[in-house]
Amino acid sequence: MSKSIFPWRSCAKQLGWGLVVFTVATMLGDRGYLEQMELLYLRLLLMPIYGTEDQRQDFLRELTSMDLLASYCLTEPNSGSDAASLQTTARRQAGSTDYILNGEKAFISGGGAADVYLVMARTGEAGPKGISCFYVDKDSKGLSFGRQEDKLGWRSQPTSSVILDDVRVPERCLIGKEGEGFTIAMSALDGGRINIATCSVGGAQFCVDAAQGYVSTRKQFGKAIIDFQNTQFKLADMLTKVQASRCLVLNAATALDSKAPWASASAAMAKRFATDECYNVANDALQLHGGYGYLKDYAVERYVRDLRVHTILEGTNEIMRVVMARHMIKSQA
């Protein structure tokens, strides 16, 4: 019986104090680095970027201790790609400055395991302008979690729904201003998309190396499989896809760092291309392993399963095309 574990607290610790303090200190005007740590749920760092000076002081310990990990809660059961239609509400309680949050978030990475939940909730009109962002503590009364989802890949990473039932949140936990939540949520996605694309490139490079190693030693028809030209051409195409993905990712990271107006479109392009092509590379690597590639004794089957979800999360690859097409149309106007 296999176990799904991810020692995320020790991973976070390994990143070290220095990096986090540096990040908090330097990132107030530069959102580029932030997302590199997204997979460790450090979207908590949205706080120093969008929070008030008072909030930065209030949450300094949380931001620099590496003791707290945060989940990003945007998706809902009825609001996935159309994130601006989310229905979770945050209403002011009469005679109080507190907010009361109600609703359900779906597919939340770190759900049940993270200490802090950055929840996008509706405080106003329908659409993106009525959404605000809240810092919700795990121990808040009324906050609960659904079952851990049983997934094809990313099995070591906890994913669950997050349920908010009359969760009371003090005003100091509103990040940014009322109505800025959607902008905050979207700003986290450009870097998140580059991050996911980067993970795909790393996984696919592993698969190329593993496949090349395997076909160099595996013999059929009296010779190593790598000696067949078809195998050589396949490996050459796989490496080309990985390298092209890597170039697009670097291009997007440069655009984001320099705050280029095309940064979002570049991130979407890199994410779309790299996650599709790197998944294909992993699948080709499995094929080159023959039946052995299908066994858990070899790592490639896990890469095929893990890379698959990259075409779905941080916005599906169809939505990446929407982002790119919108940029193209706007640039032409």
Interface residue list for ligand FAD (CB under 6 A): 71-75, 80-81, 107-109, 151, 154, 159, 309, 312-313, 315-316, 318-319, 322
Q: Nearest-5° angle of CA 67, CA 131, CA 189?
A: 55
Give me the DSSP letters along 168-184: EE-GGGEESSTT-HHHH
Nearer to ligand FAD, 164 or 210 (CB): 164
For the question of residue 314 being annotated catalytic, the response is: yes
Nearer to ligand FAD, 250 or 312 (CB): 312
Residue 202 carries which side chain, given as an amino acid letter?
G
Nearer to ligand FAD, 159 or 275 (CB): 159
Contact assessment for residue 131 and residue 179, using Cβ atoms and an 8 Å cutoff: yes
| Least distance between ligand FAD and beta carbon 111 (Å) | 8
Q: What share of the chain is helix, strand, coil (3-state, %, to 5)?
A: 55, 15, 25
Q: Which of 53, 171, 314, 318 is catalytic?
A: 314
Tokens of residue 27, six digits: 């990132």
Q: CA–CA separation, 207 vs 213, rounded Å?
A: 10
φ and ψ at residue 177, rounded to 5 degrees = -105, 165
| Least distance between ligand FAD and beta carbon 312 (Å) | 5
Residue nearest to ligand FAD (CB): 80
| Least distance between ligand FAD and beta carbon 99 (Å) | 19
Nearer to ligand FAD, 182 or 214 (CB): 182
| Least distance between ligand FAD and beta carbon 74 (Å) | 3
Tokens of residue 50, six digits: 């969008």
Catalytic residue annotation: 314
